[in-house]
Structure 1
Amino acid sequence: MSDFRLKVFQSVAKNLSFTKASQELFVSQPAITKHIQELETYYQARLFERQGSKISLTDAGELLLKHSEKILDDYKQLEYEMHLLHNEYIGELKLGASTTIAQYVLPPLLGSFIAKFPQVTLSLINGNSRGVETALQEHRIDLGLVEGIFRLPNLKYTSFLQDELVAVVHAHTKLDIQDEISPEDLLNIPLVLRERGSGTLDVFERALSQHNLKLSSLNVMMYLGSTESIKLFIEHADCMGIVSIRSVHKELVAGNLRVIEIKEMPMQREFNFVQLQGQEGGLSQVFMRFAGHHSKSL
């Protein structure tokens, strides 16, 4: 049985859709259907229940999904180790990164990695930190890069880069706000923040808790899904945003935004690699070593 046929099954099983699997794997829908039928013939068992336009896994399908994840991981490790015998790095590496890392840290690193290892097929999905961890647990990615402070016990976290959150306002804001404020002043300032599940919000909440402040006590105008949307929002509304210092370098140099210092409320954090426990080898390790070597230039 080919590993690609298992990939087809896994994609259909994860998406519960032949159409989405077709789009994800760049294969025609009839070809997807044919691969599933061949698997069902091979195992003499129905893998999916068809209910109109919806499908669901049968008991046999659930069993195959459980084992296919381990088999595909073993295939990937085998391919990596075989090529390593000839000092070649060939294979597929699926990355997932939280929004800030994907937008402001990874692009130059990915370009350099592809130039160094042209025979590695690299892909990237992005979302908030919790979404990346979920994708890793569901085997949709091989390696994640996340922000924040909350860690799941079944995942392994490795430090990558240091980062800092800062409070920013538009340079021409009408808010009556000094360049330095106290944490308690935040109670009276309109805020725009990242959404629940983001590492940025996790760090901000923890910093607030050090001063016995709660997020629910603040005047939050909006929760938005990306730093870019926060920056654009600040341009058109008199409010303050909490973002990574890495994300506003150009705006600060250009004089479009200014940083507001919050006294005695540091918001440092780490960017971390995250992997499934026990699956730390292969191309994921190659990428981590490469990223660590180039981290000083990021």
Structure 2
Amino acid sequence: MIDTRLNVFLSVARNLSFTKASQELFISQPAISKHIKELECEYNTCLFERMGTRIQLTKAGKILLDNAEIIIQQYKKMNFDMNNIQKKYGGSLRVGASTTIAQYLLPEMLAKFMQKYPDININTISDNSRNIEQMLKDGRIDVGMVEGISRLPELKYTNIMKDELVAIVRKGNKMSELDEIDLNTFKDTPIVIREHGSGSLQVIENYLHQNNLRLSDLNIVMSFGTTEGIKHFVEHTETMGIISIMAVSHELLENRFKIIELKGLKMMRDFAYVEKRGESIGLQKIFKHFITDSYKA
């Protein structure tokens, strides 16, 4: 029912990119350009200023963006309320998740969610926690799931489960003969960690600070944007990786890695459901209840 052109405009405006909007909406780039051109012709004004390979919103574009966001939200609410009369839930929901959650936790939950709500279409995006929070603030996703300890005042966080970061080495590494090392030994050990902006790194920094240590005190040889990257690197080197315990469960059973306890350094963290402040409505409310109830169970 809603004008497709508004959805296209919103995607281009939020991404400031015709290419990214095309990828996000699964529409060809010429079709994206056509929809924007139609809107510009209808209102007899330019919505985007072309600056070489970059674009930015014009004054008219900013006005349309403010109104389009309100219209889309009201449409979603109307659609949900009308379907709710018959307990029929449909529509689409954009879910962002930090890398660890997206890879090791979310797929199983989404599979169960789709079994219960087959008419709700879920679109997911994975990035580090900081970027997921920014996407939520910018309106590029509807809800998020993040790790780490930082909390932005504009967002509302609901803790859903605990996780532990552990130090691992490959079997065959000389350190695999040990069960525990002290912090002085840890400082000298070549380590691979996640990149800046990740929730994992925030947690590591926080626990180091509690022990009067900084990242610069460690022998960090490399950082990776994914946990899988850390695992593969550790498996082929004499390094130690720090990752979520749930990310290494299969390899531990296969005896490929060993966890080395860090004396006095037990790194726990929360996985949190994150949304914009205010009451959850519509599909966001259904999804939140499903996720939080699943982990309580």
Whole-Å Cα distance in 2 between the matches of residues 74 and 183 of structure 1?
A: 55
CA 1:151–1:240: 2 relative to 1, 3 Å: same
> 2:268 corresponds to which residue?
268
Q: The residue matched to 2:174 in structure 1 has which SS?
A: coil
Is 2:14–2:139's contact at 8 Å kept on the other side of the alignment?
no
Shift of 1:177: 6.7
Stretches of 4+ moved more than 4 A in 1? Answer: none
> 1:108 corresponds to which residue?
108
Whole-Å Cα distance in 2 between the matches of residues 202 and 9 of structure 1?
A: 35
Are 2:285 and 1:285 equivalent residues in the alignment? yes
Whole-Å Cα distance in 2 between the matches of residues 3 and 155 of structure 1?
A: 29
> 1:26 corresponds to which residue?
26
Is 1:189–1:219's contact at 8 Å kept on the other side of the alignment?
yes
Is 1:175–1:239's contact at 8 Å kept on the other side of the alignment?
no
Instruction: Tell me the TM-score normalised to structure 2 length.
Output: 0.94
Whole-Å Cα distance in 1 between the matches of residues 57 and 251 of structure 2?
A: 50
Shift of 1:231: 0.5
Shift of 1:175: 4.1
> 1:213 corresponds to which residue?
213
Query: Bigger CA drift: 44-53 or 152-161?
Result: 44-53
Shift of 1:51: 4.0
Q: The residue matched to 1:82 in structure 2 has which SS?
A: helix
1:111-126 equivalence runs, <5 A: 111-126=111-126
Aligned residues between the structures: 297
Shift of 1:63: 2.0
CA 1:282–1:183: 2 relative to 1, 3 Å: farther
Unaligned runs of 5+ in 1: none
1:77-105 per-residue CA deviation (whole Å, 9 max, x = no partner) reads 22112211111111101100001101111
Q: The residue matched to 2:161 in structure 1 has which SS?
A: strand
Is 1:183–1:208's contact at 8 Å kept on the other side of the alignment?
no
Q: The residue matched to 1:64 in structure 2 has which SS?
A: helix
Whole-Å Cα distance in 2 between the matches of residues 67 and 189 of structure 1?
A: 55
> 2:190 corresponds to which residue?
190
Shift of 1:43: 2.7
Shift of 1:41: 3.1
Whichever residue aligns with residue 129 of structure 1, its letter is S
Instruction: Tell me the TM-score normalised to structure 1 length.
Output: 0.94
Identity of aligned residues (%): 49
Shift of 1:280: 1.9
1:33-182 equivalence runs, <5 A: 33-175=33-175, 178-182=178-182
Shift of 1:113: 0.8
CA 1:228–1:30: 2 relative to 1, 3 Å: closer
Whichever residue aligns with residue 121 of structure 1, its letter is N
Whichever residue aligns with residue 16 of structure 1, its letter is L
Query: Bigger CA drift: 8-17 or 208-217?
Result: 8-17
Task: Quote the RMSD (CA, aligned, Å).
Answer: 1.8
Whole-Å Cα distance in 2 between the matches of residues 27 and 227 of structure 1?
A: 31
